[in-house]
Every structure is written in C-alpha cells, then in structure tokens.
Structure 1
C-alpha cells in the first residue's frame, strides 16, 4: 500500500525558500532604509512589526489547535502523519520567521521611539518574552509529536491554547493604553 502526500517535500522546501527569501528582501530593504534614515522609516517599520506580530500570533493560536486534533488521532495513522507535516511547516515557514522579525523590528522601534523608557514598555516586553517561551514550548512539542512522544491530552492542549491569548491581551493593553506612562 502506497500513501500519497498532499504536498511533496520538494514543494515544502520551495515554500520555505520563498518565505525566507521574502523575509531576507524585507530585512535588506529595512536595513537600507535605516541606513539612509528617511522620514517615513519609523511608520513603515511599525507596519512591518504589526504584520509580523499578526503572523506570529496566528501560529501561536493555530499550532495548539492542531495539537488538539493530533492528540486525538491514531499515532500510526495517515492523519497523524499529515499533522506532523502541517505542524513542522507552520513552525519553520511561518512562526519562526515571524517571531524573529517581530523581535528585531520591535526592539528597534522600542529603542528609536521610546529609548526603552516606560514601565508599560517593560511589561509589554515581559509579555513578549512569555510568548517566546510558549513558542519554544510549542516547537519542542511539535518535535515530540513527530517522534510519537506527545504527553499531553487534547483537553490539555485546549487549555494551553489560552496562554497566548492572555499574553497578547496584556501586550496590547500596554501598547495602546500605556497605563504606567
């Protein structure tokens, strides 16, 4: 019995190359813009930061949901194999690059816009550190799933799915309301 994959490894590699190439182009353009320091740079970096954060948050919300379904799937079945591919691509092609861009651009914005001044900013950074720790946990969990060593139930993954929501709400409150400014 032969099993066909919805997408091949080669297609996955091509998608990864496209994603990393796009990110590299954006980073090169950002560095060039920073070098010449045009008036519009700060606004466009804010746009880049928001897009990267949205992409990262989508992954932080979606990966635990995939784990819910994966935890309920038969470990040796075709759905489990499909979940492994989906989880690995989500982490490598979307989540990791989006997190990196979020951090790099976010730190630049914090430095150039606020000189890292303000309690609200440090609380926001703490929330982002929490999101990063959760990201690392999810990445390791994806590797465990791929190796057939998941130790959490679908119910536990549903509860874990609330962690990024709470941290995101905290970060948004700090940025928009700035309660300790």
Structure 2
C-alpha cells in the first residue's frame, strides 16, 4: 500500500512539472557542472606545479590533489553533467522538437554542448594521467586549457539568449577576441608572478 501511494505521488509530481520547473533544474545543474569544469583544471595547474616542491612535501601535496580531483569529478561533475543533459534534452523535446530542423541556433548550441562533453571527458583522461605521474602539460598550458570552458560557456549563453545564428558571425569574432584577451591576461599574470 505504501509503495503504491509513493508511486502515485511521483506520477502526480511529474505530471505537474512545467517547462519552467525543468528549465530551473537545467540551469541549476549547468551552474554546478561549470563550477566543476572551472575548478578542476585549476587543480591540474596546482597538481602539476607541485612537481617543483621538495620530496616529502611534493608527495603529500600531489596525493591531496589526486583526492580532490577524484571527488570533484565523481561527486559533482559527473552527476551534474548527466542531469544537465537529461534536463536539456527534455527542454528540447518539450519546446522545439516539432520544429527542430528550423532552429539552426539550437543545432550550433548543441554542437558546443558536445564540445563541452568532450572537454569533460578529456579532463577525466588528465585525472588518470596525473594519477600515474604523467605530466604532459605545463602549468601555463593548463592555465590556457582552463579557459576552454569559459569560451564554451560564452558561446552557449549567447546562442541561447540571442537564438540567432546569423548574429553568430559577429559572435565568433567576439568569441575569438574574448579568447585572445583571456590568453593575453594569462600571460600577463604569469609574467607578473615570475617577476615577484
């Protein structure tokens, strides 16, 4: 009897969920996913730069970063990614499915989401490599890598808000300018740190 009432409550809850509820859930998990995508590469930077520390300190620091990277990825990023993709797919189905072919902005946005998923799993690959003490990127390269998620976020948000691929020509130019500014800022900060 209890199981039946729980099932009926769940069915009733699902039937009363509106587009706005699903959209709110989607935004919450997008924010959670991006929080991980911004923070994990920063951990990679510190993990890599710990190589310059003397031996007992280096081992302790790198073990701590391995633990932090694993927890962040498995406990936050993976669930947030899946819930983002599920809620986003639900929104596409509810709102644009009948006219999906007409929304070229949505196709482009979904292409960027695919790039984001690839970035996510490449981060997973880097976690595995760092765990095996394979440091293929320098701290500076990882700082630049850290900006990929920012650039993808920029592209996705502008597409969702503007819903226009014709403006995308200007958007691409702005995106490239934004990327150049970010990379220049990273270089300036690096040179400033080296002077200290």
* Partner Cα separation in structure 2 for residue 64 and residue 180 of structure 1: 30
Partner of 1:86: 68
Partner of 1:139: 124
Partner of 1:159: 144
Structure exhibiting the larger radius of gyration computed from Cα positions: 2
Q: 1:32 to 1:122 in 2, by over 3 A?
A: farther
2:21 is the alignment partner of 1:44: yes
Q: What is the aligned residue count?
A: 150
How far off its partner does 1:89 sit? 0.4
* Partner Cα separation in structure 1 for residue 76 and residue 128 of structure 2: 16
Partner of 1:120: 105
* Partner Cα separation in structure 2 for residue 32 and residue 141 of structure 1: 43
2:43 is the alignment partner of 1:66: yes
What is the CA RMSD across the aligned residues, in angstroms? 1.9
Q: Which has the higher helix share?
A: 2
In structure 1, runs of 5+ residues without a counterpart are: 1-27
Partner of 2:87: 105
How far off its partner does 1:135 sit? 0.3
Give the 5 Å matches for 1:168-179. 168-179=153-164
Partner of 2:189: none
* Partner Cα separation in structure 2 for residue 32 and residue 59 of structure 1: 33
* Partner Cα separation in structure 1 for residue 62 and residue 115 of structure 2: 29
How far off its partner does 1:144 sit? 1.0
In structure 2, runs of 5+ residues without a counterpart are: 1-8, 167-196
How far off its partner does 1:180 sit? 3.4
Partner of 1:57: 34
How far off its partner does 1:54 sit? 0.4
Residue deviations 1:145-175, cap 9 Å, x none?
A: 1121121110110010111111111110111
Q: What TM-score do the two structures reach when normalised by structure 2?
A: 0.72
Aligned structure 1 segments of 4 or more residues deviating by more than 4 angstroms = none
Residue deviations 1:25-63, cap 9 Å, x none?
A: xxx96x7644x2x2x521111011000000000111111
